[in-house]
Amino acid sequence: MRPFDRLAGIAAPLLKANIDTDMIIRVEHMTASDQSRLGDHAFETWRIGPDGREDPGFVLNQPRYRSAPILLAGDNFGCGSSREHAVGALLGRGIRVVIAPSFGETFYDNCFQRGLLPIRLAAQSIECIADETEKGACNYDKTVVDLLSTSVHSPRGNRYRFEIEARRRDALLKGLDDIEQSLALLNEVENWQSSDRSTRPWLWKLHPFRSNA
């Protein structure tokens, strides 16, 4: 998983509420064997018209926002079914940060497994960032997301602090998913096992456990 510390880029406004995981990626793409191509299907229902061509009115098809690494969204982003592919589809489009007032709980958790940073900010703050981005000149339209200081800096320099669990912040900074975090604690786990064998030997006789490390 790629580490994340600081990112500066255009923030694309998709300020709709209740964008569910089916809107992010349709269910028929859940069995795709090549997950590196999931980005091709992100927001497909909105990006691609009935004629198979890109809809120029959709924000991520517009030249200014096509490569945006930050997505501004509405309430309850990522609600609906529990599909980790939704996070993969966003990453496949080059999106590393989603800023919304609230998220679907499972989607929010899945983000940390893949290295995508979900940030909760007030709707008014998000609208201000979107407005500044739209009105900004080419060199003054970038939003900065700083995980080290847990802050978002708008194109005009307004600063918005966000909250993130310390463990998850540390994992993103180091690029560790849950399994890699557990493996990093392997020495502590083995030390505890050794101590517990001495303290409660009867449990280990009934349920022996051997580490393969």
169 found inside a domain: no
pLDDT (average), residues 7-28: 96
170 found inside a domain: no
Label residue 83 by pLDDT band (50, 70, 90).
confident
* Domain co-membership, 19 together with 100: yes
Label residue 139 by pLDDT band (50, 70, 90).
low
- The answer to whether residue 68 scores a pLDDT higher than 70 is yes
Q: Of 166, 142, 143, 165, nearest to 153 (Cα)?
A: 143
CA distances from 130 to 113, 125, 142, 158 (A): 27, 9, 10, 12
Q: What is the pTM of this model?
A: 0.85
Res 206: pLDDT: 63
Q: What residues make up the domain containing 182?
A: 177-213
Contacts of 115 (CB under 8 A, 6+ apart): 1, 2, 3, 4, 91, 96, 172, 175, 177
Res 213: pLDDT: 44
pLDDT (average), residues 72-98: 95
CA distances from 104 to 21, 94, 131, 185 (A): 9, 21, 25, 29
172 found inside a domain: no
Rounded distance between C-alpha atoms, residue 161 and residue 157, angstroms: 13
Label residue 203 by pLDDT band (50, 70, 90).
confident
24 found inside a domain: yes
* Domain co-membership, 206 together with 155: no
Average per-residue pLDDT in the chain? 90
171 found inside a domain: no
Label residue 31 by pLDDT band (50, 70, 90).
confident
Q: Of 8, 67, 15, 5, nearest to 42 (Cα)?
A: 67
Count the domains in the chain. 2
Find the range with the poorest average confidence among 13-22, 49-58, 60-69, 171-180.
171-180
Q: What is the pLDDT of residues 87-132, one digit of tens each?
A: 999 999 999 999 999 999 999 999 999 999 999 999 999 999 999 9
